[in-house]
Amino acid sequence: MGGLNGEAEVTMKLGISIRNMGPQSSREIISDCAITADRAGLDSLWITEHIAIPPDDAEGSGGRYLDPLITLSYLAGKTEQINLGTGVLILPYRPPLVTAKLIATLQELAEGRLKLGVGIGWMRSEFKALGIDLRKRVSDSERILQFLHDAFDNDVVTQHGQPFIFSPRPMRPPILVGGAAPHAIRRAVKYGDGWMPMGLKPDVLKPIVEDYKTQTKEAGKPDPEIVVMSGLPLNDLERCREILEAYQDAGATTVIHGQKYDEAIELQDAIGQLALMT
Q: How far apart are CA 235 and CA 101, in angstroms?
A: 42
How many folded domains does the chain comprise? 1
> pLDDT by residue (tens digit) across 141-170?
999 999 999 999 999 999 999 999 999 999
pLDDT for position 11: 84
Residue 180 lies in a domain: yes
Each residue of 204-232: b (16+ CB within 10 Å) or e? ebbebbeebbebbeeeeeeebbbbbbbeb
pLDDT digits (tens, 9 = 90+) for 169-188: 999 999 999 999 999 999 99
Q: Residue 214: pLDDT above 70?
A: yes
- Residue 7 domain-assigned (yes or no): no
Per the CB < 8 A criterion, the answer to whether 22 and 61 are in contact is yes
Judge whether 202 lies within some domain.
Answer: yes
Peptide bond between residue 227 and the one before it cis (omega within 30 degrees of 0): no
Average pLDDT over residues 40-48: 98
What does pLDDT average to over the chain? 95
What is the CATH classification number for the domain harbouring 86? 3.20.20.30
Range of the domain at 96: 13-275
Structural domain includes residue 183: yes
Domain assignment of residue 2, yes or no: no
Q: State the amino acid at position 233 in one-letter form.
A: P
8 in a structural domain:
no
pLDDT confidence band for 8 (50 / 70 / 90): low
The answer to the question of residue 1 being in a domain is no
Q: Is the pLDDT of residue 6 over 70?
A: no
- At residue 226's C-alpha, the angle toward residues 44 and 222, to 5°, is 110
| Domain-embedded: residue 48 | yes
> What are the CA-CA distances from residue 119 to residues 38, 64, 141, 159, 231 (Å)?
26, 20, 8, 23, 20
